[in-house]
Structure 1
Amino acid sequence: MEEEVNNKSDWTSSISDILGWSLDFSIGERNFSISLLDVLMILVIIILTRIIIWSIKKALNTRVTHNKLDKGKAYAIKQIVTYLFWTISIVYMLDYVGVKITALLVGSTALFVGLGLGLQDTFKDFVAGFVILMERTVTVGDIVEVDGVIGRVLEVGLRTTFVQTRDDIYLIIPNQRLTNQQVINWSQSKRVTRFSVSVGVAYGSDTKKVKELLLEAVKEHTMVAKNPDPIVHFRDFGNSSLDFMVHFYSSNLFRIETVKSDIRFTIDQKFRENGITIPFPQRDLWIRNWQEAGRDEAPKSTKETDE
């Protein structure tokens, strides 16, 4: 019995010796020591942090699935929670191994000043990222227009936002551009948006028939909303045509150009079937006193030939 106790004591002592093994190093004038136990504790903190974040994300996804939480709001909460918990974990791990954050900040003031001057745009992007995530002015799935480029938001990061354009080109936009510049968020209203297609018909066309055909072409498309109803405007008497514009509503914001193209095909087909002509540009050329101009130019031309 006594031998068993001694063996157990030796085994415990061996484990303590292993866990007590440490690595000593220095940074500047400060000395640090990290033991195997510290490494294990750091791993435990990392694992716990990942489990907590995973649990929160799963709970948010469940609420989104049951329509109890908006998808964009859930994404913003997940991003903020992720950044917050990892920041807390990193600070705690540094403090656990003996790195005092306060002393580190005080001792690195000059370094941070230099970094602040050199990376001020990056810091602005970080601040803008928090603003976007908190205010949710732009979130995943939104259709936005930045500098005339329209695209779908794929990811809102802490520094940059990833956007997919209608040409399937992926843009990386610094977050400060989304807060400092004018940005059109087509999805912000969460309702259908109005679009339009223009067309001109030849003078003498039956304008009531034109209006009827335009409404038919729009209403036949499956991606056009039934409410509000589409409307047709007789815009103007153009130089070569009678100009019309048909307005319609759709929720297919990202691929709306494809919808417009389909509607134009349908309009062209219906106009052909009903004898409605889409005219070419026309221009009338008037020449005044052309006979006198011809007589004046003839001698001049002969004289040049003689020479």
Structure 2
Amino acid sequence: ADAATGGGTAPTANNNAADEQSQMALVTVSTQAHRLLGLLQRVLVALSLVYAWSPVLPALLRFEGVVLWYTTNTEASGIARPAPVSLMDLLVGALILLMTFSLTRNLPGLVEVVFSSTRRVSSSDRYTMATLARYGITIAGTVSALSLLGLRWSQLQWMAAALTVGLGFGLQEIFANFVSGLILLVERPFRVGDVITINQHTGTVTRIRTRATTVLDFDNQEIVIPNKTFITGQVTNWTLSDDVTRLIIDVSVAHGSDPAEVQRMLLAIAAEHPKVLREPEANCWFMALEGQGQKFELRVYVGAVDDRLPVRNDLNRSINARLKAAGIAVAFPQMDIHVRDLPPAAAAAQETQGA
């Protein structure tokens, strides 16, 4: 289990990477917040100008008379009527697209600023809210702009049918990853910041995107995994509802050792370590009598994934020192070689050959 959650100085490297990510996230949030404030300032200036120029605004209605092209609308009665698309519709549609692009680009910063002061909304919740809101704003803004330009569902249904055929032939994986990403955001089997294991890869979830999820492993490598893999495969989440995990320390001692004394010694070592939890309490079991010696398992619980390797290292060092001080030998593989005498006929033949 610990091989899957890092190696060597993995916890330290993971903490450093987490600190760097936090600093980068703060810089990104600050940049997005400044962009939103700039956008708000420009909107307020535009509204002020509109209020100041209100007497001459009716002149802008002349744009309604500038027809760029015609589209066909089908009424409820089934009668098709031409509908003009004016220059005003084009300008308003372009403005809606611009506002949609600006909001979807800077929305995470707005969510961080609004909800960062409350403890009820965690960082992973804010990430989910920002992502879902970005999808909703993008869809609503795009549909509104296209409607002003005359591209309604009646004109897009053939394109939708062609897209459906394309999904059936070559885009099914992309579509499956997109739907899987929405399921991950809503169902939340893991969140941004969780430590997960999937397909022999273990790391911290840093981003959940439309097509794929990014996992930062303990070698500081970013692994991009398609979202479909998380839906169809098995995922181990080390920190979903609780950060407490169990460590199993295997100890083998030589035959002839007192099992009760070994168990008392191992439990005392676990009780002395500050990072070993008292609840659930540690326990030690005499597991087997093997050919090399007696096998024990010391099972302890730690409160964080990053504590697994340091605690294992400390316990192994303490166990080695205590066993040596108590005169208890550690079991090691042994092999006995039995040499038997040759039969008389074979011994006589060997002597004859030697002569």
Band the TM-score falls in, shorter-chain normalisation: 0.7 to 0.9
Q: How does 1:8-47 map to 2 (within 5 A)?
A: 38-47=93-102
Q: Secondary structure at the match of 2:347?
A: helix
Shift in Å at residue 32 of structure 1? 8.6
1:13-53 CA-to-partner distances (Å, cap 9, x unmatched) read: 999999x99999xxxxxx99875665445324444566766
Name 2:218's counterpart in structure 1: 166
The 1:173–1:303 alpha-carbon spacing in structure 2 relative to 1, beyond 3 Å, is farther
User: In the alignment, what sits opposite 2:204?
Assistant: 152
Structure 1 residue 260, shift from structure 2 partner: 1.6
Measure how far apart 1:248 and its partner are. Answer: 0.6
1:161 to 1:38, Cα distance in 2 relative to 1, 3 A: closer
Decide whether the 8 Å contact of 2:215 with 2:222 is kept in 1: yes
| Residue correspondences, number | 285
- Which residue does the alignment assign to 1:291? 341
TM-score (norm 2): 0.68
Question: How far has the Cα of 1:270 moved from its partner?
Answer: 2.0
> Does the residue aligned with 1:246 lie in a helix, a strand or coil?
strand
TM-score of the two chains, using structure 1 as the length reference: 0.77
CA separation in 2, counterparts of 1:161 and 1:138?
A: 11
Task: Read off the aligned partner of 1:171 and give its amino acid letter.
Answer: I
- Aligned residue among 215, 218, 237 for 2:289: 237
Assess, with a 3 A threshold, how the Cα gap between structure 1 residues 153 and 49 changes in structure 2: closer, same or farther.
closer
Residue in structure 2 matched with residue 223 of structure 1 by the alignment: 275
Moved over 4 A (4+): 11-18, 20-24, 31-38, 48-54, 302-306
Contact 1:143 1:254 in 2 (8 A): no
Q: CA 1:119/1:257 → structure 2, altered by over 3 Å: closer, same or farther?
A: farther
Change (3 A) 1:217 1:165: farther
Which of 104, 107, 117 matches 1:62? Answer: 117
Q: Comparing 83-92 with 98-107, which one deviates more in the overlay?
A: 98-107
Bigger mean CA offset, 47-56 vs 107-116: 47-56
CA RMSD, aligned part only? 3.5
Q: Does 1:132 align with 2:184?
A: yes
Specify which of 115, 125, 136 is matched with residue 84 of structure 1: 136
Q: Aligned equivalents of 2:96 and 2:235: distance in 1?
A: 46
SS in 2 for 1:291: coil
Aligned equivalent of 2:22: none
Task: Report the Cα distance in structure 1 between the residues aligned to 2:268 and 2:68, rounded to whole angstroms.
Answer: 79
Shift of 1:277: 1.5
Structure 2 unmatched runs, 5+: 1-52, 70-83
Distance in 1 of aligned mates of 2:217 and 2:210: 21
Q: In the alignment, what sits opposite 1:118?
A: 170
Letter in 2 for 1:42: L
1:188 and 2:240 matched: yes
Shift of 1:222: 3.5
1:219 Cα shift?
A: 3.1
User: What residue is the counterpart of 1:28 in the other structure?
Assistant: none
Structure number with higher relative contact order (C-alpha < 8 Å, ≥ 6 residues apart): 2
CA 1:251–1:169 in 2, change beyond 3 Å: closer, same or farther? farther
CA distance in 1: counterparts of 2:305 and 2:353, whole angstroms: 66
Q: Which residue of 2 aligns with 1:282?
A: 334
The letter for the 1-side match of 2:244 is V
Q: 2:100 touches 2:138 (CA, 8 Å); kept in 1?
A: no
* Aligned match for 1:246, one of 298, 312, 320: 298
2:131 counterpart letter in structure 1: Q
Separation (CA, whole Å) in 2 of partners of 1:302 and 1:101: 103
Identity of aligned residues (%): 27
CA distance in 1 between partners of 2:120 and 2:258 (Å): 53
The one-letter amino acid paired with 2:264 is E
From 204, 207, 211, give the equivalent of 2:263: 211
For the Cα contact (< 8 Å) 1:22–1:36, is it kept in 2?
no
Structure 1 range deviating more: 220-229 or 172-181: 220-229
